[in-house]
Amino acid sequence: MSTVQFIKALTNDEGSDKASELFRHTFAEDESGVWSAPGRVNLIGEHTDYNAGLCLPIALPHRTFIALKPRTDGIVRVVSDVDPTSFQEVDLNGLEARGVDGWAAYPVGVAWALRSMGFSQVQGFDAAFASCVPLGSGLSSSAAMTCSTALALDDVFALGYGASDAGRVTLIESAMKSENDMAGASTGGLDQNASMRCTAGHALLLDCRPELTPLENTSQQPFDLSAHGLELLVVDTQAPHQLNDGQYAERRACCEEAAKVLKVANLRVTADGIAKSDDPFQSLKETLDALPDEVMKKRVRHVVTEIARVRSFVRAFANGQVEEAGRLFNASHDSLKADYEVTVPELDVAVDVARKNGAYGARMTGGGFGGSIIALVNSGESEKLAQLIADEFARQGFHAPRALAAVASDSARKVR
Ligand code: ADP
Ligand code: MG
């Protein structure tokens, strides 16, 4: 059987050189600067962001680099190392939602979003992307692209939001708007917040209640795995990952419908009510009894229990209770499989192999329907486990998976 591939992160110099060379090769001049933004992996708290819930991402060491030069007209020209042979060109003037096809919608959409948010000083630009974040693997290559673009545009058009954590919330809004309204890929904000706000050595506890200010809605939780003798293995199953085929929208709509039935603004209100009650089990049962159908009951049970698991995970990890943290990973996956129904056989098999071979816990991460799993393992165990998963995938006739080592890294920044 073949050896499983580990995707290495580009260093700052490697990423900047690649983006810069692609820029020069494509546009026959030099860029103004290079910026980069990371992909992310969500430790726990899945499908909670759009329910005003809690989630806990870390930024990956794997980043998207953008070499960019502003223009004085409304033309955007973008090229990516995914297809370095040609660039795409779009005029921002007169551009409407969903007006750009293909991947260019993501970076073009950021400029379009900033302009529609009132930043009329934003003009066109030329940009070249180089990335080591796997595309469509649930590790947020899309947010790495939109957030690196937003930070670059903030810088070259002097918007003044990139330097502070609170200011970045405005840039996050433009990145989300690009994904939602230009690329047509529904997103709840977890990915963009992670890419813009995570810090090295920490997980970002993100509270998605809309009434909170940016300073209130996050806290940095120490997440230094090596200090605990641990590693976080990410396995990209390479199973086809399709969030915009209606499944994601269907889950969101079901949660919104449930909130209406329960007469609450969102399911976070329900989750908090249950958590604070004298008998949370009974309270959850009564909530579910009030819902009209089985599917809705399952979806709500996932959201309510998953929000509780984020709290428990933060507590367990802070107290050094690694086994409990692993158990919560497992419970999260099982809930996503049985109640939220967003796993596929590749995710379940990868998680199963990890659990049977020494992982403290394992779960799918990201939206599901393909994508990646994470496994919490002792230091030095990642490669062996990744190989065992690859061997089982070969036996089952799945695509060969790829692996990454996840270390909590830094958010978007200017690199050159
Ligand atoms: P994920 O964000 O989990 O990787 P998405 O489906 O949300 O998955 O986003 C993947 C899409 O983002 C790609 O299909 C492509 O359109 C776009 N994309 C992201 N990174 C790049 C890149 N470096 N070059 C070109 N397109 C990219
Ligand atoms: Mg994405």
Over the stretch 51-84, which tens digit does the pLDDT of each residue have? 999 999 999 999 999 999 999 999 999 999 999 9
Instruction: Report the alpha-carbon distance of residue 76 to residue 104 in Å, rounded.
Output: 9
Other CB atoms within 10 Å distance of the CB of residue 413: 15
Tell whether 12 and 147 lie within a shared domain.
yes
Q: Is residue 415 assigned to a domain? A: no
Measured CA to CA in angstroms, residue 130 lies from 39, 217, 254, 311 at distances of 13, 31, 38, 36
List beta partners, residue 348.
none
Distance 179 CA to ligand 1 centre (A): 10
Note the pLDDT of residue 307.
98
Q: Is the pLDDT of residue 205 over 90?
A: yes
**Catalytic option among 49, 126, 155, 191:** 191
Alpha helices (H) in 220-292, listed in sequence order: 247-261, 267-276, 280-289
Low-confidence winner among 206-210, 238-242, 306-310 (lowest mean pLDDT) = 238-242
Ligand 1: residues whose CB is within 6 Å? 64, 80, 82, 103, 106, 129, 131, 135-142, 145, 185, 243, 366
Return d(Cα 108, Cα 88) in angstroms, integer.
10
Give the list of residues 6+ apart from residue 233 with CB closer than 8 angstroms, or none: 354, 359, 374, 375, 377, 381, 382, 385, 386, 403, 404, 405, 406
Give the residue, by CA position, lying nearest to ligand 1 atom 27: 103
Could you read off the pLDDT of 314-328 as tens digits, one per residue? 999 999 999 999 999
Query: What tens digit of pLDDT does each residue of 255-270 get?
Result: 999 999 999 999 999 9
Q: What is the pLDDT of residues 122-165, one digit of tens each?
A: 999 999 999 999 999 999 999 999 999 999 999 999 999 999 99
Q: Given this model, what pLDDT does residue 284 score? A: 98
C-alpha to C-alpha distance for 258 and 224, rounded to whole angstroms: 38
- Give yes or no for residue 248 having a pLDDT over 70: yes
- The answer to the question of residue 412 being in a domain is no
Residue nearest atom 8 of ligand 1, based on CA coordinates:
136
Mean pLDDT within 87-105: 98
- Domain span at residue 215 reads 5-223
How far is the CA of 261 from the CAs of 51, 52, 289, in angstroms?
Answer: 15, 17, 11
Nearest CA to ligand 1 atom 3: 138
Residue 5 has pLDDT above 80, yes or no: yes
Is residue 296 domain-shared with residue 394, that is, in the same domain? yes
Indicate the pLDDT class of residue 215, thresholds 50, 70 and 90. confident
Nearest CA to ligand 1 atom 15: 103
Among the candidates 190, 223, 256, a domain finishes at 223
Instruction: Among 223, 258, 280, give the residue marking a domain's end.
Output: 223
**What band does 242 get if pLDDT is binned at 50, 70 and 90?**
low
- The residue-averaged pLDDT of 168-181 equals 97
Question: Nearest bound ligand to CA 370?
Answer: 1
Confidence of residue 243 (pLDDT cuts 50, 70, 90): low
Count of helices and strands (H, E) across the chain: 12, 14
Residue type, 198: C
Dihedral of CA 164/170/171/172: which sign?
A: positive
Pair of tokens at residue 409: 């890294």
- Asked if 82 and 203 sit in the same domain, the reply is yes
- 87 and 187 share one domain: yes
Amino acid at 114: L
Which of 223, 243, 271 is where one domain is finished? Answer: 223
Q: Is 191 a catalytic residue?
A: yes
Do 123 and 267 fall within a single domain? no
Cα–chain center distance at 21: 28
Mean pLDDT of 205-209: 98
Q: What is the pLDDT of residues 351-391, one digit of tens each?
A: 999 999 999 999 999 999 999 999 999 999 999 999 999 99
- The whole-angstrom separation of Cα 30 and Cα 105 is 24
Q: Per-residue pLDDT averaged across 280-306, rounded?
A: 98
Domain count, the chain: 2
Q: Does 257 lie in the same domain as 120? A: no
CA of residue 287 to ligand 2 center, whole Å: 32
Quick one: average pLDDT of 308-312?
98
**CATH number, residue 23:** 3.30.230.10
Domain match, 209 and 77 both: yes
Q: What is the pLDDT of residue 246?
A: 86
User: What is the average pLDDT score of the chain?
Assistant: 97
The 10 Å Cβ neighbour count of residue 200 is 14
Statement to judge: residues 316 and 305 lie in one domain: yes
Any domain includes 413? no
User: Can you give the CATH number for the domain in which 310 is found?
Assistant: 3.30.70.890
Residue 287: pLDDT over 70: yes
Mean local confidence (pLDDT), 298-305: 98
Residue 195 alpha carbon to ligand 1 centre in Å: 14
Q: Tell me: pLDDT of 241 over 70.
A: no
User: Relative to the CA of 367, which ligand 1 atom is closest?
Assistant: 3
Global confidence as pTM: 0.96
Examine residue 297 and state whether it is found in any structural domain, yes or no. yes
Check residue 187 and give its pLDDT.
87
- Higher-pLDDT residue of 359, 186: 359
